[in-house]
Structure 1
Amino acid sequence: MQWFIPYSASTIKPWLAVREGETRIGNQIHFVSQASQLIELKQQGIQFVLIGVNEDIGPQGNLGRGGSGDGFKAAISQWINLQSNDYLNGSECAIWGEIDCSDLVVENASTEQLRANAEVIDQRVIEIAKAIFETGLEPIVIGGGHNNAYGLLTAAKQSFDSPMAAVNLDPHSDFRLKEGRHSGNGFSYAASEGTLACYHVLGLHELKNSAANLKQLKDFGGSWHSLQQIWVRREISLADALAQIADKLVQCKLPVGLELDVDAIATFPSSAVTYAGIPLMDAAHYIHYMAKHSDCRYVHFAEPAAKTHPISSDEGMKQVGQSLAELIYAYIQGRLHKD
């Protein structure tokens, strides 16, 4: 896999702060150099494997802007510097590395070429995710476009021999027409292939989804709570919405893919940054609640783009990294203390 870049202790060493008397997550975390190690790590009690996807081809294929390739480095550089203590040791986790898609970058690529290359990325995501799923470990997937939900759901279905359910915090349904693979139709492609059987969108923006897409989602049997219902009109509380979603997932009786497009979060540097989004801590609560109360098999944080920060890329790396570290911790805590 020449397109996969494994991380090691030497990779993170320049990012890891050292202070006498303190132990950081980065001092405790494990590393994977090849897929064959995953079984051994599972036997040692590891539960989570962090992987990144370094690409912005999917968003560009959706006629959006790029920049979604730097999220994993931003997250890891912050995650490893959190303290190892009684709340979380860090040895429950392993870092494998990132799927690199630089070989697929074509200058002035046409929309058709971008969408064809997104299909190549699908296969890379499937290969890596299957290796993790089939050893009973849980991937924490960071970066790249939301097109990568398709690869994760497909790998999960193949590994667990079951259709999947998914819940997605996202102002967009990503249930666009099957017009060639891109970040806006990962879930509709998965649904059309029988991979996705139960789908709910939390925080869907009522005016950022076309009538045709909403009809397609409704005809499939998908459901949603809108951003306006919860955070504007206050017709339902976030707590009640999450309880309803968890009940639906229990009734589906399917493995669950937990999805979050970070452009749901207000001012989060992303490929589609919004100033009319939700607070980071509400997103973290969503992740924790669903991880704790449903049969999650992975979590996917899509479309962080540090370089889009209005001040500088360095500030973007800091904001993206700190925010993703909180979301990672919310997921792990929920899974370690699940119902």
Structure 2
Amino acid sequence: MTTHEWTGRDDGPGAGHARWHSVITTTTDRPGVALVGFASDEGVRRNGGRPGAAAGPTEIRRALASLAVHTDVPLLDAGTVTVSGTDLEGGHDALSAQVEELTRAGHTVIVLGGGHETAFGSHRGVRRALGHSPAIINLDAHFDLRVAPAPSSGTPFRQIADLAGEEFRYAVLGISVPNNTRALFDTARELGVRVTTDVELAEMTSAGCEALVGKLLEDAPDVHLSIDLDVLPAAVAPGVSAPAALGVDLARILTLVRAVARSGKLRLVDVVELNPLLDVDGRTARVAARIVEEIVRHRPSD
């Protein structure tokens, strides 16, 4: 596949030299990993954040393009859903339809945001395809459980809770206590959210992180992994709407991501909040690409 995003170094033909740009395609006859972009700033704007995340999907693809491929799983680029003007609701409808179609085809779907409003549209799509709501693990400094007059980047998991009802199963890892109000903590308790703070994660060993994921996925047939890049320290991920004063180090985030991927239960991933306008030397885009690569590489072969 050749577009301006999917270009990069060419060391030679064959699987031994494979890079993302040389193997990704727009069609495949067997299930694999499907990328979908969600070019949206509207949710961040409604939430009072700094716009720019609509350009995130393009920059993540560019950062992925030259990374080596160490799997034979088909890699599919299913295009980008672009929010038109302020019509976030219409964008959510289109994203849900795209995720539903790809999930029914057997793909593991990775959605490249966009603000964290992405998560509602993607979750609704996978829910329609599976017939139930998968368990959610959100790597994030924020709950995103706000109640607001209109959907935004601060509301997606409250929207999912309203949609899923008794099926709602939500764990958020990396919560920054000073950046979430007591009211949000109360809402989380009322909804039965499992919470691990950034400080608690910092004190965990790799084995502890893996055990935490194992416990969270007990009795869960499917999982939706949502990754807000603002969970990382600002020095690692400066290109986000709300950079973290503390954050969770990248090594621990990758340990958590690999544990979810290896579970064999992963059906949907969101990687959100990359804002290229605020990035420094492409650091955040490269981190986002590395996270996607780790997920694909550690996902069990079909």
Normalised by the length of structure 2, the TM-score is: 0.90
Partner of 1:75: helix, strand, or coil? helix
Kept in 2, the 8 Å contact 1:178–1:188? The answer is no
Between 1:275-284 and 1:136-145, the stretch displaced more is: 275-284
How does 1:186-197 map onto structure 2 within 5 Å? Answer: 186-194=156-164, 197=168
Partner of 2:54: helix, strand, or coil? coil
Once the two structures are superposed, what CA deviation does each residue of 1:167-204 show, in whole Å capped at 9, x if it has no partner? 00101011112432001110111101226511001011
The aligned residue for residue 211 of structure 2 is 243
- For residues 168 and 83 of structure 1, the distance between their equivalents in structure 2, rounded to whole angstroms, comes to 27
> Which residue of 266, 270, 292 corresponds with 2:262?
292
The aligned residue for residue 184 of structure 2 is 213
The CA deviation at 1:281 is 2.7
The CA deviation at 1:26 is 1.4
- The residue identity in structure 2 corresponding to 1:98 is T
The aligned residue for residue 109 of structure 1 is none
The aligned residue for residue 256 of structure 1 is 223
Task: Establish whether residue 308 from structure 1 lines up as the match of residue 290 from structure 2.
Answer: no
Question: Which has more radius of gyration?
Answer: 1
How does 1:66-105 map onto structure 2 within 5 Å? Answer: 66-84=51-69, 87-89=70-72, 92-101=74-83, 103-105=84-86
Task: Establish whether residue 333 from structure 1 lines up as the match of residue 297 from structure 2.
Answer: yes
- The residue identity in structure 2 corresponding to 1:222 is V
The aligned residue for residue 114 of structure 1 is none
How many equivalent pairs are there?
Answer: 295
The CA deviation at 1:161 is 0.7
- Residue ranges of structure 1 left out of the alignment (5+ in a row): 1-7, 33-40, 106-116
The CA deviation at 1:12 is 4.0
The percentage of aligned residue pairs carrying the same residue is 20
- For residues 264 and 22 of structure 2, the distance between their equivalents in structure 1, rounded to whole angstroms, comes to 31
How does 1:1-339 map onto structure 2 within 5 Å? Answer: 8-12=1-5, 15-19=7-11, 22-32=17-27, 41=28, 44-84=29-69, 87-89=70-72, 92-101=74-83, 103-105=84-86, 117-194=87-164, 197-231=168-202, 234=203, 236-237=204-205, 239-251=207-219, 253-267=220-234, 268=237, 269-293=239-263, 295-309=265-279, 315=281, 318-336=282-300
Deviation >3 Å, runs of 4+:
10-13, 18-23, 236-239
Once the two structures are superposed, what CA deviation does each residue of 1:275-308 show, in whole Å capped at 9, x if it has no partner? 4212223222221111112511111101101111
- The residue identity in structure 1 corresponding to 2:8 is L
Partner of 1:26: helix, strand, or coil? helix
The CA deviation at 1:239 is 3.3
Partner of 1:60: helix, strand, or coil? helix
- For residues 196 and 226 of structure 2, the distance between their equivalents in structure 1, rounded to whole angstroms, comes to 15
- For residues 68 and 159 of structure 2, the distance between their equivalents in structure 1, rounded to whole angstroms, comes to 41
Partner of 1:146: helix, strand, or coil? coil
Change in Cα spacing, 1:306 to 1:45, as seen in structure 2 (3 Å) is same
Partner of 1:18: helix, strand, or coil? coil
The CA deviation at 1:214 is 1.0
Partner of 1:162: helix, strand, or coil? coil
Normalised by the length of structure 1, the TM-score is: 0.81
Change in Cα spacing, 1:194 to 1:273, as seen in structure 2 (3 Å) is same
- For residues 207 and 88 of structure 2, the distance between their equivalents in structure 1, rounded to whole angstroms, comes to 36
| Alignment RMSD | 2.1
Kept in 1, the 8 Å contact 2:54–2:113? The answer is yes
- Residue ranges of structure 2 left out of the alignment (5+ in a row): none
Kept in 1, the 8 Å contact 2:161–2:168? The answer is yes
- For residues 295 and 53 of structure 2, the distance between their equivalents in structure 1, rounded to whole angstroms, comes to 21
Partner of 2:298: helix, strand, or coil? helix
- The residue identity in structure 1 corresponding to 2:76 is A
